[in-house]
């Protein structure tokens, strides 16, 4: 299993930012891809990539008990997606991966010399990374997303000096990684989402080597509406109404394997679970 992943790690070209994404859009989507790219460059959000539709939808529950995580179609990998304009992995400007302190589970606050803390409804993200159906022990996941206001640390006006909502975790024997964060806001042009990159090893991640998989996690609409009805998410209500999973430039061609299963509530927070076969 490790040898297969390492071969993929060195031989495959995965999306790592705009410099990587635009050639693939031209090659694999033609004119439609160029149009999607034009929308991307005019918006705050991220571009699209080829996708394979999945068939199994996650269970969403507001009550006690943990539902099964979102799953990809039988034998399939989670789709590759763009890292977008704000990866912070060195492919488009700043590189947070090589900084001391990036390996952490709680990503709500900035680290190093930065002192900011992102506010919002508490969110735990649990990803289960597998390869050939087996938990991928030792894989590393770099996860990042926008804050409640729709801003990306390191890039967006007002938070260029911050590096919050970015972090790396190493998978245990069960293939799981967990991040403590806040529910991201919705900004114009994109459905609410989280970006993440899977690396073969923790060393690969913290040296900003090429990853095994770059993809995105989507949130179900009913939970988004509940969160965005709370204080601080006022802008997200309007932005959510102007988008949908069916029209989003990343998720519109199939999102079942990327739609997280959510449990919890706005008072105590949510847990988002997703299976990540690579």
The torsion of the CA quartet 112, 149, 64, 259, rounded to 10 degrees, works out to -100
Low-confidence ranges of the chain (pLDDT < 50): 1-69, 71-74
Instruction: Provide CB contacts within 8 A for 100, sequence distance 6+.
Output: 112
Residue 182, strand partner residues: 122
**So what's the pLDDT on residue 52?**
30
Q: Sign of the C-alpha dihedral, residues 75, 177, 118, 208? A: negative
Q: What is the pLDDT of residues 170-197, one digit of tens each?
A: 999 999 999 999 999 999 999 999 999 9
Looking at residue 70, its pLDDT comes to 52
Those residues whose C-beta lies under 8 Å from the C-beta of residue 98, and which sit 6 or more positions away, are 90, 206, 207, 208
Task: Note whether 275 and 128 are within 8 A (CB).
Answer: yes
Contacts 24+ apart (CB under 8 A), 172-176: 172/137, 173/135, 173/137, 174/128, 174/135, 174/137, 175/128, 175/129, 175/130, 175/134, 175/135, 175/136, 175/137, 175/139, 176/126, 176/127, 176/128, 176/129, 176/135
In tens, the pLDDT along 157-170 reads 999 999 999 999 99
Query: Which pLDDT belongs to residue 29?
Result: 30
Distance of CA 258 to the CA centre of its chain: 9
Does the predicted TM-score (pTM) go above 0.95?
A: no
């Amino acid at each position: 299993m490790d040898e297969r992943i390492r071969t993929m790690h060195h031989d495959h070209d995965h999306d790592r930012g705009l410099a990587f994404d635009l050639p693939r859009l031209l090659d694999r989507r033609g004119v439609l891809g160029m149009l999607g790219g034009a929308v991307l460059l005019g918006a705050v959000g991220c571009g699209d990539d080829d996708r394979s539709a999945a068939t199994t939808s996650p269970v969403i529950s507001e009550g006690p008990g943990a539902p099964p995580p979102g799953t990809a179609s039988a034998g399939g990998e989670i789709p590759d997606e763009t890292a977008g304009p704000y990866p912070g992995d060195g492919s488009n400007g700043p590189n947070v991966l090589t900084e001391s302190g990036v390996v952490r589970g709680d990503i709500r606050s900035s680290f190093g010399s930065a002192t900011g803390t992102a506010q919002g409804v508490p969110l735990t993200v649990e990803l289960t990374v597998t390869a050939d159906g087996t938990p991928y022990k030792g894989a590393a996941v770099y996860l990042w997303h926008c804050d409640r206001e729709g801003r990306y640390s390191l890039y967006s006006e007002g938070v260029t000096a911050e590096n919050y909502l970015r972090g790396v975790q190493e998978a245990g024997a069960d293939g799981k990684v967990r991040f403590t964060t806040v529910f991201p806001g919705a900004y114009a042009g994109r459905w609410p989402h989280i970006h993440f990159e899977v690396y073969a090893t923790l060393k690969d991640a913290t040296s900003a080597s090429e990853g095994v998989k770059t993809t995105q996690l989507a949130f179900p609409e009913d939970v988004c509406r509940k969160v965005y009805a709370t204080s601080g998410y006022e802008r997200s209500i309007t932005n959510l109404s102007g988008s949908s999973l069916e029209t989003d430039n990343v998720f519109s061609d199939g999102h079942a394997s990327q739609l997280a299963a959510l449990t919890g509530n706005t008072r105590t927070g949510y847990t988002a679970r997703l299976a990540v076969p690579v």
